[in-house]
Structure 1
Amino acid sequence: MSFGIPTVFVSMATGTQGGALARQLRGLGWNVRATVRDIHQPKAKALLEIGVHLTPGDWDDVVALRAALTGCTKAFIGYTANLLDFEAAPRRARLTVRLAREAGVTQAICTTTLGTAMLDEGKEPLIAPTPLFAQHFASKRFVEQAIEDGGFDSWTVLRPGFFMGNFLDPKVWYGYADVPRKGEWANVMTPDLPLGLIDHEYIAKFAAAAFQDPVKFNGIRAGLVTEELPVQEMLDQLAVAIGDGRTLKAHFMTDEEIDKAVASNSWAVFSRERCVRYMGNLANTKELEKLVPGLTTFGQYLERESELVKSTYLLA
């Protein structure tokens, strides 16, 4: 380890957000450490190739976490949602915070979801979430509280909106498969309301900026949305990027269809959560542009990810 070069623990390093951050931090010449369940998987090997130090183990492995946090002064903390165990993410956050403090970490950034802003004072939603997702948002808020109360010199909370990558491989197959298979997306938005979109590379860019200036970003809870687009316009842009002449249609669900999805205990957020119609109001793009310039539009995202767009839709 080179003296004076920051060393950062990055959770979810083989995932979308953590992977983007690991690459950006290595691009700065920083040391990056992480845990990974399978060190032989392709994404883990790609991290090793750029110099990320990986420790085999999962989020509940105390020995692995302690080893990965050794020598770190900064930590990026986040966990995939578990709708079968809402205690999992807060439990893991508290464990990681404890081990991070023991290791000497002084700055922590966590990533949750834009929906947790509904729990902030004065941010009551125009439409309340269903009980399932109220629990989900509360679980993510407990993660934030673990970081905020963790005793770090600096903490920052990131709350991403709807991922632009949800329509591309591999995310598209987990809740949005009708888009490539049927050319249609059933959703709870309305034709006139825009959807708050976020590019995962901007999440990493924001986190990297915060790591470089812990004083400026201390205590910030940032709702991350880089562009707001009506759903049909978004799908039209995606269809053009695919480039084979197809059309993609937004199906705006009726209240009856939404109620039926809720009654069936569907886990697909956009087939049950009317509250997402106004979630974009929880982010301020003008303030984001001041803090970390260069908000990605959906068109710019599609151009950058053109190969993945084509492999998702033309080779599926």
Structure 2
Amino acid sequence: MPTVFVTSATGSVGSALCQQLRALNWRVRAITRDPDSKSAQHLKALGVELIPGDWDDQDALRAGLTGCDKLFLCLLPDLSDFKKVPARAKTIAAIAKSSGVTQAVGLTTLGNFAVEEGTKPPPKYAPSPFFAQHFHAKKRVEQALIEGGFDHWTILRPGFFMANFLEPKINMGMGYAEIKENGTWTTSMTATSPLGLVDHVDIARFAVTAFQKPDLLHGRLLAVVSEELLVQEAFDQLAAAIGDSERSIKAKFMSDEECAKAQAEGSWRFFSSETCVRYMSDYTNLEELSDLIGGLTTFKKFFEREKEGVKETYHRK
């Protein structure tokens, strides 16, 4: 059975991927800073081999990657230093290649289409200077895998995580907490632009498909979403999942001028003021995505599966 090295294994996507790979009886290794944490212990119970260390610990990386066949690369961005994460990706890719890894699957962001040369159709809005740096950093992470010398590589570019509406992601300081605190979400999206929502379990399923069928998705920069809904449709479904007849959730759509002002102020609204995300659906193909993994998780089904998370996030104590 193959052995897969999974970065960010204690995150939502990494944890789901570890679970799916172990269900196939594949061997899985991961690095963790705290092997005694609840999330790490969950992985250990699944049969994941844990290596103490972090992404900058090259000795730990060599120990974890030696003997692995495949690499899943998912690195959290560092918005204070756009050079740090691409450098990490390059180091991990080099160690993986020298350790005998032949296939790599990377996870970046749907927003990369906004800064990619030759993107068709051309982006209708350019990203702000800050987010252009963020997307270019993600592009350099992708390039580390593309140029890593692997026999097969695949890049998954996910849309807006469904899990952003639940704890703990809703509390990460990106403005999502407004939803549970005020019953509103201030967004650069428009009332008519589709919001590409993605289930982290589906992302893991795409990674597993790529690992199982290396030729199928080799060389692909794959836009990954599970469902596209208008923003207010999404919030109506969230309100229904919460099940509180007195609670509604309303989208507050920002004009171009309001987006520009929010970016200039640098407040949390900065993260919800990117006009380039309005037309990311130009780069998705739901029919192809559904065919690849045998069906996608709808927003309603996500909330049914995550009903305990909905209760923990929204039901008043």
Shorter-chain TM band: over 0.9
Q: State whether residues 191 and 232 of structure 1, in contact with CA within 8 Å, keep that contact through their aligned partners in structure 2.
A: yes
Question: CA offset at residue 53 of structure 1?
Answer: 0.5
Residue 166 of structure 1 corresponds to: 164
Structure 2: how far apart are the matches of 1:298 and 1:120?
32
From 116, 123, 126, the equivalent of 2:124 is 126
Partner in structure 1 of residue 27 of structure 2: 31
Q: Secondary structure at the match of 1:146?
A: helix
Cα contact 2:263–2:269 (8 A) shared by 1: no
Secondary structure, counterpart of 2:215 in structure 1: helix
**Residues 1:213 and 2:213 aligned together:** yes
Deviations 1:84-118 (A, max 9, x none): 11111210110001110111000000000001122
Aligned residue identity for 1:168: L
Task: Mark the runs of 5 or more structure 2 residues left unpaired by the alignment.
Answer: none
The percent identity for this pair of structures is 53
What runs of 5+ residues in structure 1 fail to find an aligned partner? Answer: none
C-alpha contact 1:225 1:280 (8 A) present in aligned 2: no
- Bigger shift: 246-255 or 223-232? 246-255
Mapped contact 2:113–2:119 kept (Cα < 8 A): no
**How does 1:113-262 map onto structure 2 within 5 Å?**
113-118=109-114, 119-123=116-120, 124-174=122-172, 175=174, 176-245=176-245, 246-262=247-263
Pairs within 5 Å for 1:245-284: 245=245, 246-266=247-267, 268=269, 270-284=271-285
| Maintained 8 Å contact 2:256/2:275 | no
CA deviation after TM superposition for structure 1 residue 271, in Å: 2.6
Which residue in the other structure is 2:75 paired with?
79
| Kept after mapping to 2: 8 A contact 1:188/1:270 | no
Secondary structure of the residue aligned to 1:127 is coil
Q: Distance in 2 between matches of 1:181 and 1:267?
A: 15
Other structure's SS at 1:117 match: helix
Shift in Å, 1:137? 0.6
Paired with 2:74 and 2:280, the residues of 1 have a C-alpha distance of: 20
Shift in Å, 1:315: 4.5
Hey, what does 1:296 align to over in structure 2? Answer: 297
Alpha-carbon distance between aligned partners in 1 of 2:81 and 2:269, rounded to the nearest angstrom? 17
8 Å contact from structure 1 (residues 186, 250) kept in 2: yes
Partner SS for 2:63: helix
Cα distance in 2 for partners of 1:99, 1:47 equals 23
SS in 1 for 2:29: strand
What are the Cα deviations for residues 251-288 of structure 1, in whole angstroms up to 9, with x where unaligned? 11233322221111235565320111011212111121
CA distance in 2, matches of 1:268, 1:11: 30
Does the aligned pair in 2 maintain the 1:129–1:273 contact within 8 Å?
Answer: yes
From 8, 22, 29, give the equivalent of 1:12.
8
Q: For residues 178 and 267 of structure 1, do their structure 2 counterparts lie closer, same or farther at Cα, with a shift above 3 Å needed? A: closer
Paired residue type of 2:148:
G
Which residue of structure 1 lines up, in the alignment, with residue 306 of structure 2? 305
Q: Corresponding residue for 1:55? A: 51
Q: Using the alignment, how far apart are the partners of 1:99 and 1:59 within structure 2?
A: 12
Q: TM-score, normalised by structure 2?
A: 0.96
Deviation at 1:218, TM superposition (A): 1.0
Corresponding pairs, count = 312
Moved >4 Å (runs of 4+): 267-270
1:286 aligns with 2:282: no
Deviations 1:140-166 (A, max 9, x none): 111111101111010000000000111
**What SS is found at the alignment partner of 2:186?**
strand
SS at 1:38 equivalent: coil
**Counterpart for residue 45 of structure 1:** 41
> Closer, same or farther in 2 for the Cα pair 1:238/1:252, shift >3 Å?
same
Please tell me whether the aligned partners of residues 109 and 158 of structure 1 are also in contact (alpha carbons under 8 angstroms).
Answer: yes
Structure 1 range deviating more: 271-280 or 106-115 = 271-280
What residue is the counterpart of 1:108 in the other structure? 104
SS of the aligned residue for 2:216 comes to helix
CA distance in 1, matches of 2:132, 2:80: 14
Quick one: distance in 2 between partners of 1:224 and 1:18? 16
How far off is 1:51 after superposition? Answer: 0.6
Q: 1:95 aligns with which of 91, 96, 101?
A: 91
Residue pair 1:266, 1:272 contacting (<8 A) in 2 also: no
Match of 1:60, SS state, is: coil
Quick one: distance in 2 between partners of 1:114 and 1:266? 23
State the Cα deviation string for residues 273-311 of structure 1 (Å, max 9, x = none). 011101121211112122222111111111111111111
